[in-house]
Amino acid sequence: MHDEALLSVDGLCLAYDGSNALNGVSLDIRKGELICVVGANGAGKTSLIRSIAGTIPASSGVVRMNGVDITRKPPWEICELGIAQVAEGRQIFGALSVEENLLVGAALKRAKAEQVNTLESVYALFGRLRERRRQLAGTLSGGEQQMLAIGRAIMSKPEIVMFDEPSIGLSPALTDVMFSVVKLLHEKGATILLVEQNVAKSLSLCNRGYVLENGSVVLHGSSEELLSNSEVQRAYLGM
Amino acid sequence: MLSRRRAYVCRNAAGASQSPSERVSIEISIFTCFIQGSLMLSLWLNVVASGILMGLVYGLVALGLTIIFGVMRVVNFAHGEMVVFGVYIGYWSVRMWEVPIIAAAALAAAVMFVFGYFLEKLIVKRFVNSPHHYQFIVFIGLSLLFSGILLVAFGPDPRPTASQLSFRTVSIGILTLDLARLQAAGVAGLLIVMLGAYLKYSSFGRSLRAAANNRLGGLIVGLIIPRIYAITFGIGAACAGVAGALISPLFDAQPYLAMDFTLLAFVTVIVGGLGSFGGALLGGLTIGVAEAVAALMFSPSMKTALPYALLIIILIFRPRGFFGVREV
């Protein structure tokens, strides 16, 4: 299982200011899978994504991409290997136009040559971004900014996309749109790691899931197993 | 031009109902008026024009400072020293090889870009994420170090570049301008436009603006931030160096000029708005004209004081500067 995993995380620990944000998290994703990591606020979800992406270096543990250790690599080298993320808080470039945001997403060597085609496919996916391509990204609505963040991740022609709470701050209607976008990307062949607080929705979307609590994986299994687990039902689904 | 037309209109109006002798005397008095008026006017226009020309050069210096701050959130207190390096590069290359000042400016750009790039790679990058007071000490230290190097290398005495260029003038209508100043302003203006276009339209410029706008966002999309920072510092140092070389025919090369230029660049940047490209240019023009007008209206010794008075006034009424961003 380890050998065929596209991305594997093994015993990842991360300490911030003396407290442990991650306490030996292990998970793996095979190519073409859609998995989710669910948990409450402060469970370590964002820390997990950031230490995989290299923006906050892990204190110990190993992250492998296609079997190669990438734990200590800087973020730009990790991006160059095809790990993209749609970050918490979107982190778009508000002072740049929508199109410039997308093109910056394709600044990597792996994506630059095909940026015109990729841009076209992002516009085909999100018509709204095409309409607003000359507009400053900071003037977009929350939902549009989220689409821009997703579009920007697609621009890097990634092997795997990590979503950090794509539904946060969006209305229920927009949340549904966002989940259907994630589903659509998966159906088009993308490998996706979805990190969510919205446990019911994300589990029903995914093949497998991990439940994170206080920086550790407390449960993992297929979505059906987790959804029918009494602990999950009690703690996250309010049953 | 305008004044001549106005005088003509006056004369016609005055000539309508007077006897010939009265008319002659009035014409003479109006004529002397006109001469004095146009002398004053041409003096003012010349002063403002030369202020604008210097302002473009100040704008280039300030642009260097503001681009470094905008991208790296680091304040380069050694910026004036970089201008003075440029002045010495201009001074030596004109003296030794008798090259035109534009070639000296190109040399200064190349040398200072490399200098800035490696300074960032070796020293500055270690302090980019440090608190501001650490950075402050580091840059003050660098500034003292560079001044010391200049003193050891060239001594404290002013060295006049005094090329032919320093004395040549050009007349355009009633304006009479130093050729050196005109050339410096022309090149500075051109460089500002070119740099602006590069930042706006090139792919690297886009990445640079993205990194300036949101550093975490830049890391997320995989921008090579250390490379962007080193090049940004190189560009900033090159702006200072080119400006120094361009004004070397106007200023005597002297290590102590550095502090003046650092402060001037700061005033310019703060007046225009920290981190703003257009602000640096507008700030430069404002300071250039303010200096020139102060020298004419009050006394030449007020020349350095007025920009600071202007700074205080602007800080009171518009603390962000002309184009400043609120969060800065």
Written as six digits, the tokens of B261 are: 């230029």
Domain stop point among A107, A141, A157: A157
Q: Cα–Cα distance between A215 and A54 in angstroms, integer?
A: 17
Structural domain including A7 reads 1-82+159-239
Q: For residue A61, give the CATH number of its domain.
A: 3.40.50.300
Same domain, yes or no: A30 and A140: no
Clarify whether residues A54 and A65 are in a common domain. Answer: yes
Same domain for A149 and A165?
no
Residue type, B283: G
Query: What is the strand order of the sheet A34-38 is part of?
Result: A83-86, A160-164, A191-196, A34-38, A208-213, A216-222
Other CB atoms within a 10 A radius of the CB of residue B218 amount to 26
Enumerate the residues of chain B whose CB falls inside 8 A of the CB of residue A108.
221-222
Residue A88, in any domain of the structure: no
Is A103 in contact with B224 (Cβ distance < 8 A)?
no
Residues in chain A with CB shorter than 8 Å from the CB of B216 are 55, 87, 91
pLDDT averaged over every residue in chain A: 90
One domain for residues A53 and A166:
yes
How many domains does chain A divide into? 2
Give contacts of B217 with chain A, Cβ < 8 Å: 87, 91-93
Nearest to B221 among A95, A104, A112 (CB): A104
Q: Which residues of A touch B199 (CB under 8 A)?
A: none
Nearest-5° Cα angle at B277, B273 to B278 = 80
Q: How do the residues of chain A divide into helix, strand and coil, expressed in percent and rounded to 5?
A: 40, 30, 35
Residue B185 lies in a domain: yes
What is the average per-residue pLDDT within B157-164?
Answer: 72
Q: Where residue B20 falls among pLDDT bands split at 50, 70, 90?
A: low
In a domain, B6, yes or no: no
Chain B contacts in chain A segment 76-95 (CB below 8 A): 76, 78-80, 84-85, 87, 91-95
d(CA B76, CA B78): 5
ipTM of the complex: 0.90
Judge whether A75 is closer than 8 Å to chain B, CB to CB: yes
Clarify whether residues A70 and A175 are in a common domain: yes
| pLDDT band at residue B6 under the 50/70/90 scheme | very low
* pLDDT tens readout for residues A42-68: 888 889 999 999 998 888 999 999 999
Question: What pLDDT was estimated at residue B21?
Answer: 65
Q: Within 13 Å and on the Cβ side, how many CA atoms surround B244?
A: 36
pLDDT value at position B19?
60
Contact (CB<8Å) B223/A76:
yes
Residue A152 near chain B (CB below 8 Å): yes
Q: Which residues of A touch B223 (CB under 8 A)?
A: 76, 104, 107
Collect all residues of chain B within an 8 Å Cβ-Cβ radius of residue A55.
Answer: 216, 219-220
Query: Into how many domains does chain B fold?
Result: 1
The two tokens of residue B139 are 């840059």
Q: What is the DSSP letter of A107?
A: -
Give residue B31's pLDDT: 67
pLDDT at B34: 66
- The residue type found at A67 is G
A142 falls within a domain: yes
Q: Which residue has the higher pLDDT, B211 or B162?
A: B211
Which residue in B206, B217, B222 is closest to A76 by CB distance?
B222
Regions of chain A short of the pLDDT cut 70: 1-3, 18, 239
Task: Tell me the per-residue pLDDT of B227-261, one tens digit each, with 9 for 90 and over.
Answer: 999 999 999 999 999 999 999 888 888 888 888 88
**Pairing mode, strands A60-65 and A216-222:** unpaired
Of B230, B235, B229, the closest CA to residue B215 belongs to B229
Q: Which of B206, B216, B222 sits opposite A80 (nearest CB)?
A: B222
Note the Cα B36 to chain centre separation in Å: 32
